[in-house]
Structure 1
Amino acid sequence: MTCALCSVPVHTQFATPELVGAIVEGGLDPAEDPGWAESGASSPGEYARWAGHLCGMTCLRMALGAGAPSLFELRDGALKYGAYTEDADGTIRGLVYAPFAEYVSEVYGREATVHRHLEVDGIPALLDTGRTVLASVHYGIRHPERPAPGRGGHLVLVTGRTADGSALHFHNPSGTDAGTRAAVLPVAEFERFFARRGVSLA
Protein backbone atom coordinates (compact mmCIF):
# COMPACT_ATOMS: atom_id res chain seq x y z
CA MET A 1 0.00 0.00 0.00
CA THR A 2 1.38 3.42 -0.94
CA CYS A 3 0.36 6.85 0.26
CA ALA A 4 -1.41 8.67 -2.58
CA LEU A 5 0.33 11.90 -1.60
CA CYS A 6 3.89 10.59 -1.57
CA SER A 7 6.11 7.71 -2.61
CA VAL A 8 6.59 6.36 0.92
CA PRO A 9 4.91 2.98 1.45
CA VAL A 10 2.45 2.53 4.30
CA HIS A 11 3.17 -0.30 6.75
CA THR A 12 1.74 -1.27 10.11
CA GLN A 13 3.70 -2.67 13.03
CA PHE A 14 1.30 -5.62 13.15
CA ALA A 15 1.40 -7.89 10.12
CA THR A 16 -2.31 -7.89 9.28
CA PRO A 17 -3.50 -4.29 8.88
CA GLU A 18 -7.15 -5.25 9.30
CA LEU A 19 -6.41 -6.58 12.80
CA VAL A 20 -4.55 -3.55 14.15
CA GLY A 21 -7.69 -2.10 15.72
CA ALA A 22 -8.59 -5.39 17.37
CA ILE A 23 -5.05 -5.72 18.76
CA VAL A 24 -4.42 -2.18 19.99
CA GLU A 25 -7.96 -1.35 21.10
CA GLY A 26 -9.83 -4.64 21.36
CA GLY A 27 -7.43 -6.76 23.37
CA LEU A 28 -6.73 -9.35 20.66
CA ASP A 29 -3.55 -11.31 21.44
CA PRO A 30 -1.06 -10.49 18.66
CA ALA A 31 -0.09 -14.17 18.64
CA GLU A 32 -3.45 -14.79 16.96
CA ASP A 33 -2.47 -12.62 13.98
CA PRO A 34 -2.38 -15.12 11.09
CA GLY A 35 0.15 -12.99 9.22
CA TRP A 36 2.77 -13.04 11.98
CA ALA A 37 5.37 -14.92 9.87
CA GLU A 38 5.42 -12.09 7.31
CA SER A 39 7.03 -9.91 9.97
CA GLY A 40 10.14 -12.08 10.03
CA ALA A 41 9.54 -13.18 13.62
CA SER A 42 10.67 -16.69 14.53
CA SER A 43 7.43 -17.62 16.29
CA PRO A 44 3.99 -16.25 17.20
CA GLY A 45 5.29 -15.76 20.74
CA GLU A 46 8.24 -13.63 19.66
CA TYR A 47 5.96 -11.65 17.36
CA ALA A 48 3.42 -11.04 20.14
CA ARG A 49 6.11 -9.96 22.58
CA TRP A 50 7.84 -7.52 20.25
CA ALA A 51 5.43 -6.15 17.65
CA GLY A 52 3.92 -3.56 19.98
CA HIS A 53 7.39 -2.08 20.53
CA LEU A 54 8.33 -1.80 16.86
CA CYS A 55 6.71 1.46 15.77
CA GLY A 56 10.20 2.88 15.20
CA MET A 57 11.27 -0.08 13.05
CA THR A 58 8.04 0.24 11.09
CA CYS A 59 8.81 3.90 10.46
CA LEU A 60 12.30 2.93 9.30
CA ARG A 61 10.90 0.25 7.04
CA MET A 62 8.60 2.81 5.42
CA ALA A 63 11.41 5.33 5.05
CA LEU A 64 13.66 2.74 3.37
CA GLY A 65 10.97 2.18 0.75
CA ALA A 66 10.48 -0.73 -1.62
CA GLY A 67 12.73 -3.68 -0.91
CA ALA A 68 13.23 -2.81 2.75
CA PRO A 69 14.07 -5.71 5.09
CA SER A 70 11.37 -7.36 7.15
CA LEU A 71 10.30 -5.78 10.41
CA PHE A 72 12.16 -8.27 12.58
CA GLU A 73 15.30 -8.15 10.45
CA LEU A 74 15.36 -4.42 11.16
CA ARG A 75 14.73 -5.19 14.84
CA ASP A 76 17.69 -7.59 14.90
CA GLY A 77 20.00 -4.92 13.54
CA ALA A 78 18.70 -2.34 16.00
CA LEU A 79 19.33 -4.74 18.88
CA LYS A 80 22.95 -5.19 17.82
CA TYR A 81 23.46 -1.43 17.97
CA GLY A 82 21.70 -1.04 21.32
CA ALA A 83 18.71 0.83 19.93
CA TYR A 84 16.60 -1.63 21.92
CA THR A 85 17.60 -3.22 25.20
CA GLU A 86 16.08 -5.93 27.36
CA ASP A 87 16.17 -5.87 31.16
CA ALA A 88 16.89 -9.00 33.19
CA ASP A 89 13.15 -9.43 33.74
CA GLY A 90 12.50 -9.29 29.99
CA THR A 91 11.26 -5.71 29.84
CA ILE A 92 11.90 -4.23 26.38
CA ARG A 93 13.21 -0.66 26.27
CA GLY A 94 13.61 1.57 23.23
CA LEU A 95 13.75 3.07 20.76
CA VAL A 96 17.00 4.69 21.93
CA TYR A 97 17.66 7.48 19.45
CA ALA A 98 21.45 7.80 19.35
CA PRO A 99 22.27 4.14 18.63
CA PHE A 100 19.32 4.04 16.24
CA ALA A 101 20.80 6.94 14.27
CA GLU A 102 24.18 5.17 14.20
CA TYR A 103 22.52 1.96 12.99
CA VAL A 104 20.63 3.67 10.17
CA SER A 105 23.68 5.64 9.05
CA GLU A 106 26.14 2.74 9.11
CA VAL A 107 23.94 -0.07 7.84
CA TYR A 108 21.62 1.72 5.40
CA GLY A 109 23.68 4.76 4.45
CA ARG A 110 20.93 7.17 5.46
CA GLU A 111 22.04 10.20 7.41
CA ALA A 112 20.07 10.26 10.66
CA THR A 113 19.95 13.23 13.01
CA VAL A 114 18.63 13.07 16.56
CA HIS A 115 16.47 16.04 17.58
CA ARG A 116 16.21 16.08 21.35
CA HIS A 117 14.37 19.42 21.25
CA LEU A 118 12.20 19.88 18.18
CA GLU A 119 9.32 22.33 18.04
CA VAL A 120 6.46 21.37 15.77
CA ASP A 121 7.08 24.38 13.53
CA GLY A 122 10.58 23.02 12.88
CA ILE A 123 9.24 19.90 11.17
CA PRO A 124 8.24 21.57 7.86
CA ALA A 125 11.76 22.98 7.50
CA LEU A 126 13.21 19.48 7.82
CA LEU A 127 10.71 18.13 5.30
CA ASP A 128 11.65 20.88 2.87
CA THR A 129 15.24 19.59 2.83
CA GLY A 130 13.97 16.20 1.63
CA ARG A 131 14.04 14.50 5.03
CA THR A 132 11.38 12.40 6.71
CA VAL A 133 10.89 12.70 10.45
CA LEU A 134 10.27 10.01 13.06
CA ALA A 135 8.25 12.09 15.50
CA SER A 136 7.50 11.06 19.07
CA VAL A 137 3.75 11.35 19.67
CA HIS A 138 1.13 9.79 21.89
CA TYR A 139 -0.55 6.80 20.25
CA GLY A 140 -3.87 8.55 20.84
CA ILE A 141 -3.09 10.59 17.72
CA ARG A 142 -5.19 8.07 15.82
CA HIS A 143 -8.19 9.70 17.52
CA PRO A 144 -7.48 13.41 17.01
CA GLU A 145 -11.13 14.23 17.71
CA ARG A 146 -10.52 13.29 21.35
CA PRO A 147 -8.47 15.18 23.98
CA ALA A 148 -4.80 14.22 23.83
CA PRO A 149 -4.04 11.74 26.67
CA GLY A 150 -0.40 12.82 26.70
CA ARG A 151 2.66 13.33 24.53
CA GLY A 152 5.22 10.82 23.29
CA GLY A 153 5.68 7.07 23.68
CA HIS A 154 4.92 6.22 20.05
CA LEU A 155 6.60 7.05 16.74
CA VAL A 156 5.03 8.13 13.47
CA LEU A 157 6.77 8.98 10.20
CA VAL A 158 6.09 12.52 9.01
CA THR A 159 6.41 12.43 5.23
CA GLY A 160 5.24 15.82 3.97
CA ARG A 161 3.27 18.98 4.50
CA THR A 162 0.54 20.89 2.74
CA ALA A 163 1.64 23.64 0.37
CA ASP A 164 0.83 26.35 2.89
CA GLY A 165 2.53 24.48 5.74
CA SER A 166 -0.61 24.39 7.85
CA ALA A 167 -0.88 20.59 8.04
CA LEU A 168 1.41 17.56 8.19
CA HIS A 169 1.16 14.26 6.34
CA PHE A 170 2.26 11.28 8.40
CA HIS A 171 2.15 7.49 8.45
CA ASN A 172 1.11 5.88 11.72
CA PRO A 173 2.32 2.30 12.35
CA SER A 174 -0.64 1.68 14.68
CA GLY A 175 -3.29 3.33 12.53
CA THR A 176 -6.50 1.34 12.65
CA ASP A 177 -7.83 2.21 9.18
CA ALA A 178 -6.59 3.76 5.94
CA GLY A 179 -7.32 7.29 7.13
CA THR A 180 -5.27 6.96 10.31
CA ARG A 181 -2.42 4.99 8.70
CA ALA A 182 -1.75 7.69 6.09
CA ALA A 183 -3.08 10.72 7.91
CA VAL A 184 -3.17 14.49 7.57
CA LEU A 185 -3.53 16.75 10.60
CA PRO A 186 -3.31 20.51 11.06
CA VAL A 187 -0.04 21.42 12.75
CA ALA A 188 -1.88 22.66 15.84
CA GLU A 189 -3.69 19.32 16.19
CA PHE A 190 -0.48 17.33 15.67
CA GLU A 191 1.25 19.45 18.31
CA ARG A 192 -1.18 18.35 21.03
CA PHE A 193 0.26 14.81 20.83
CA PHE A 194 3.86 15.70 19.95
CA ALA A 195 6.64 15.28 22.54
CA ARG A 196 8.93 17.75 20.76
CA ARG A 197 11.60 15.20 19.91
CA GLY A 198 12.43 12.75 17.15
CA VAL A 199 14.90 11.65 14.47
CA SER A 200 15.10 12.96 10.92
CA LEU A 201 16.32 10.81 8.03
CA ALA A 202 17.90 12.08 4.84
Structure 2
Amino acid sequence: MSVPKIIHPVPYYSQWESAALVPEFITGTKAAVDDPLWQKSGAESPQEYAFWAPRMCGVACLRMALDFWGYPVPPSVPLVRELCEAGAYVREGDQVKGLIYDPFAKHVRARWGLEAEAVPELPAAVVTDVISSGRLALLSVHKTIRTTDEEPPSKGGHLVLAVGVSEENVMLHNPSGLPGVSQEAAPVSWARLERFYAGRGVILGG
Protein backbone atom coordinates (compact mmCIF):
# COMPACT_ATOMS: atom_id res chain seq x y z
CA MET A 1 0.00 0.00 0.00
CA SER A 2 1.41 3.37 -0.98
CA VAL A 3 2.02 6.01 1.66
CA PRO A 4 0.61 9.47 0.89
CA LYS A 5 2.99 12.33 1.57
CA ILE A 6 2.11 14.12 4.81
CA ILE A 7 4.00 17.02 6.38
CA HIS A 8 2.54 18.61 9.48
CA PRO A 9 3.16 22.39 9.65
CA VAL A 10 5.20 22.23 12.85
CA PRO A 11 7.15 25.39 13.79
CA TYR A 12 10.90 24.82 14.08
CA TYR A 13 13.00 25.41 17.19
CA SER A 14 16.73 24.86 17.46
CA GLN A 15 18.29 23.76 20.74
CA TRP A 16 20.49 26.84 20.41
CA GLU A 17 18.76 30.22 20.29
CA SER A 18 20.72 31.29 17.19
CA ALA A 19 19.73 28.56 14.75
CA ALA A 20 21.83 30.12 11.98
CA LEU A 21 24.97 29.64 14.08
CA VAL A 22 24.53 25.91 14.72
CA PRO A 23 27.42 24.93 12.39
CA GLU A 24 29.76 27.12 14.43
CA PHE A 25 28.50 25.82 17.77
CA ILE A 26 28.86 22.16 16.86
CA THR A 27 32.35 22.60 15.42
CA GLY A 28 33.48 24.75 18.32
CA THR A 29 34.42 27.75 16.18
CA LYS A 30 31.97 29.76 18.29
CA ALA A 31 31.23 29.04 21.95
CA ALA A 32 27.62 28.83 23.12
CA VAL A 33 28.39 31.48 25.76
CA ASP A 34 28.83 33.85 22.82
CA ASP A 35 25.39 33.16 21.36
CA PRO A 36 24.04 36.70 20.90
CA LEU A 37 20.51 35.48 21.63
CA TRP A 38 21.29 33.46 24.78
CA GLN A 39 18.98 35.60 26.95
CA LYS A 40 15.93 34.38 24.97
CA SER A 41 16.55 30.97 26.55
CA GLY A 42 15.52 32.23 29.98
CA ALA A 43 18.90 31.25 31.44
CA GLU A 44 20.30 33.27 34.30
CA SER A 45 23.73 33.53 32.68
CA PRO A 46 25.51 32.72 29.42
CA GLN A 47 27.24 29.91 31.32
CA GLU A 48 23.97 28.28 32.35
CA TYR A 49 22.73 28.53 28.78
CA ALA A 50 25.98 27.13 27.37
CA PHE A 51 25.82 24.14 29.71
CA TRP A 52 22.33 23.14 28.64
CA ALA A 53 22.18 24.15 24.97
CA PRO A 54 24.03 21.06 23.65
CA ARG A 55 21.77 18.86 25.80
CA MET A 56 18.39 20.39 24.93
CA CYS A 57 17.40 18.43 21.82
CA GLY A 58 14.41 16.91 23.62
CA VAL A 59 13.38 20.28 24.99
CA ALA A 60 13.48 21.80 21.50
CA CYS A 61 11.32 18.95 20.17
CA LEU A 62 8.80 19.49 22.96
CA ARG A 63 8.67 23.23 22.26
CA MET A 64 7.96 22.52 18.58
CA ALA A 65 5.11 20.19 19.52
CA LEU A 66 3.63 22.63 22.02
CA ASP A 67 3.65 25.41 19.43
CA PHE A 68 2.10 23.11 16.81
CA TRP A 69 -0.83 22.30 19.08
CA GLY A 70 -1.31 25.88 20.25
CA TYR A 71 0.10 25.71 23.77
CA PRO A 72 2.17 28.54 25.24
CA VAL A 73 5.84 27.73 24.64
CA PRO A 74 8.09 28.20 27.69
CA PRO A 75 11.67 29.39 27.20
CA SER A 76 14.08 26.49 26.92
CA VAL A 77 16.11 26.72 30.15
CA PRO A 78 13.12 27.14 32.50
CA LEU A 79 11.65 24.12 30.72
CA VAL A 80 14.86 22.20 31.42
CA ARG A 81 14.56 23.09 35.10
CA GLU A 82 10.98 21.78 35.10
CA LEU A 83 12.08 18.54 33.52
CA CYS A 84 14.91 18.18 36.03
CA GLU A 85 12.39 18.47 38.86
CA ALA A 86 10.23 15.88 37.09
CA GLY A 87 13.15 13.45 36.88
CA ALA A 88 13.44 13.60 33.09
CA TYR A 89 16.99 14.92 33.45
CA VAL A 90 19.32 13.92 36.28
CA ARG A 91 22.32 16.19 36.74
CA GLU A 92 25.37 15.16 38.74
CA GLY A 93 28.03 17.84 38.54
CA ASP A 94 28.81 18.35 34.88
CA GLN A 95 27.19 15.08 33.86
CA VAL A 96 23.56 14.81 32.78
CA LYS A 97 21.49 11.68 32.35
CA GLY A 98 18.53 12.19 30.06
CA LEU A 99 16.24 12.72 28.40
CA ILE A 100 14.58 9.93 30.38
CA TYR A 101 11.42 9.06 28.48
CA ASP A 102 9.02 7.82 31.17
CA PRO A 103 9.20 10.84 33.53
CA PHE A 104 9.28 13.11 30.48
CA ALA A 105 6.05 11.66 29.10
CA LYS A 106 4.42 11.71 32.54
CA HIS A 107 5.29 15.39 33.00
CA VAL A 108 3.98 16.32 29.55
CA ARG A 109 0.66 14.63 30.31
CA ALA A 110 0.36 16.25 33.75
CA ARG A 111 1.54 19.73 32.76
CA TRP A 112 -0.26 20.22 29.44
CA GLY A 113 -2.78 17.40 29.23
CA LEU A 114 -1.09 16.40 26.01
CA GLU A 115 -0.94 12.70 25.23
CA ALA A 116 2.63 11.45 25.52
CA GLU A 117 3.80 7.85 25.43
CA ALA A 118 7.33 6.60 26.03
CA VAL A 119 7.94 3.83 23.52
CA PRO A 120 11.08 1.74 24.14
CA GLU A 121 10.44 -0.24 20.95
CA LEU A 122 9.22 1.99 18.14
CA PRO A 123 9.95 0.42 14.73
CA ALA A 124 10.44 2.85 11.89
CA ALA A 125 7.47 1.26 10.10
CA VAL A 126 5.17 2.41 12.93
CA VAL A 127 6.29 6.03 12.53
CA THR A 128 4.23 6.25 9.35
CA ASP A 129 1.09 5.32 11.29
CA VAL A 130 1.95 7.85 13.99
CA ILE A 131 2.33 10.74 11.54
CA SER A 132 -0.67 9.66 9.45
CA SER A 133 -2.87 9.79 12.54
CA GLY A 134 -1.93 13.41 13.22
CA ARG A 135 0.61 12.73 15.95
CA LEU A 136 4.32 13.52 16.18
CA ALA A 137 7.24 11.38 17.30
CA LEU A 138 10.51 12.11 19.05
CA LEU A 139 13.03 9.65 17.62
CA SER A 140 16.40 8.73 19.09
CA VAL A 141 19.05 8.97 16.36
CA HIS A 142 22.78 9.52 16.16
CA LYS A 143 23.58 13.22 15.89
CA THR A 144 25.48 12.82 12.61
CA ILE A 145 22.18 12.31 10.81
CA ARG A 146 22.40 16.08 10.21
CA THR A 147 25.33 15.46 7.82
CA THR A 148 25.88 13.32 4.74
CA ASP A 149 27.69 10.66 6.80
CA GLU A 150 26.42 7.23 5.89
CA GLU A 151 27.82 5.11 8.73
CA PRO A 152 27.38 6.58 12.21
CA PRO A 153 29.58 5.19 15.01
CA SER A 154 26.47 4.18 16.95
CA LYS A 155 22.70 4.59 17.04
CA GLY A 156 20.69 6.99 19.21
CA GLY A 157 21.74 9.65 21.68
CA HIS A 158 20.09 12.62 19.99
CA LEU A 159 16.39 13.46 19.61
CA VAL A 160 14.71 14.71 16.45
CA LEU A 161 11.02 15.30 15.75
CA ALA A 162 9.34 13.34 12.95
CA VAL A 163 6.87 15.76 11.34
CA GLY A 164 6.15 14.08 8.01
CA VAL A 165 6.30 10.88 5.98
CA SER A 166 6.17 9.73 2.40
CA GLU A 167 6.77 6.46 0.61
CA GLU A 168 10.48 7.20 0.39
CA ASN A 169 11.26 9.41 3.39
CA VAL A 170 10.60 10.53 6.90
CA MET A 171 10.73 14.30 7.38
CA LEU A 172 12.63 15.45 10.46
CA HIS A 173 12.88 18.68 12.40
CA ASN A 174 16.40 18.40 13.82
CA PRO A 175 17.22 20.68 16.79
CA SER A 176 20.92 20.54 15.87
CA GLY A 177 20.41 20.41 12.12
CA LEU A 178 22.37 22.52 9.66
CA PRO A 179 20.65 25.65 8.27
CA GLY A 180 19.11 25.07 4.86
CA VAL A 181 20.21 21.44 4.92
CA SER A 182 18.86 19.42 7.83
CA GLN A 183 16.96 21.70 10.20
CA GLU A 184 13.37 21.85 9.00
CA ALA A 185 11.34 18.96 7.57
CA ALA A 186 14.54 17.47 6.21
CA PRO A 187 13.81 14.34 4.16
CA VAL A 188 15.70 11.24 5.31
CA SER A 189 15.19 7.99 3.44
CA TRP A 190 13.84 5.09 5.47
CA ALA A 191 16.95 3.06 4.67
CA ARG A 192 19.21 5.85 5.90
CA LEU A 193 17.12 6.33 9.04
CA GLU A 194 17.65 2.71 10.02
CA ARG A 195 21.42 3.27 10.22
CA PHE A 196 21.05 6.10 12.74
CA TYR A 197 17.84 5.24 14.59
CA ALA A 198 17.91 3.38 17.90
CA GLY A 199 14.32 2.17 17.53
CA ARG A 200 12.89 4.06 20.49
CA GLY A 201 11.25 7.40 21.21
CA VAL A 202 8.20 9.25 22.47
CA ILE A 203 4.87 9.63 20.67
CA LEU A 204 3.09 12.93 21.24
CA GLY A 205 -0.58 13.64 20.56
CA GLY A 206 -3.81 11.72 20.95
Of the candidates 178, 195, 199, which is equivalent to residue 198 of structure 2? 195
Higher relative contact order (CA 8 A, sep 6+): 2
Structure 2: tracts of 5 or more residues without a match = 1-6
Cα RMSD after superposing both structures: 1.3
Match of 2:54 in 1: 52
Contact 1:55–1:155 (CA under 8 A) maintained in structure 2: yes
Contact 2:150–2:192 (CA under 8 A) maintained in structure 1: no
Check if 1:80 corresponds to 2:82: no
Aligned ranges 1:10-89 → 2 under 5 Å: 10-65=12-67, 67-87=72-92, 89=93
Contact 1:168–1:184 (CA under 8 A) maintained in structure 2: yes
Q: Percent identity?
A: 38
Of the candidates 107, 113, 122, which is equivalent to residue 126 of structure 2? 122
Give the whole-Å Cα distance in 1 for the aligned partners of 2:142 and 2:123. Answer: 15
Check if 1:102 corresponds to 2:106: yes
DSSP-derived class of the 2:200 partner: strand
DSSP-derived class of the 1:23 partner: helix
User: Residue type of the partner of 1:50?
Assistant: W
Shift of 1:145: 4.4
Shift of 1:27: 4.1
DSSP-derived class of the 2:130 partner: helix
Give the whole-Å Cα distance in 2 for the aligned partners of 1:104 and 1:178. Answer: 30
Contact 2:122–2:199 (CA under 8 A) maintained in structure 1: yes
Contact 2:146–2:182 (CA under 8 A) maintained in structure 1: yes
Shift of 1:86: 1.0
Contact 1:144–1:189 (CA under 8 A) maintained in structure 2: no
Number of residue pairs matched?
195
Contact 1:84–1:95 (CA under 8 A) maintained in structure 2: yes
DSSP-derived class of the 1:174 partner: coil
Shift of 1:73: 2.3
Structure 1: tracts of 5 or more residues without a match = none
DSSP-derived class of the 2:181 partner: helix
Per-residue CA deviations over 1:69-120 (Å, capped at 9, x if unaligned) read 1111221211111000111x33111100000001100001111111101111
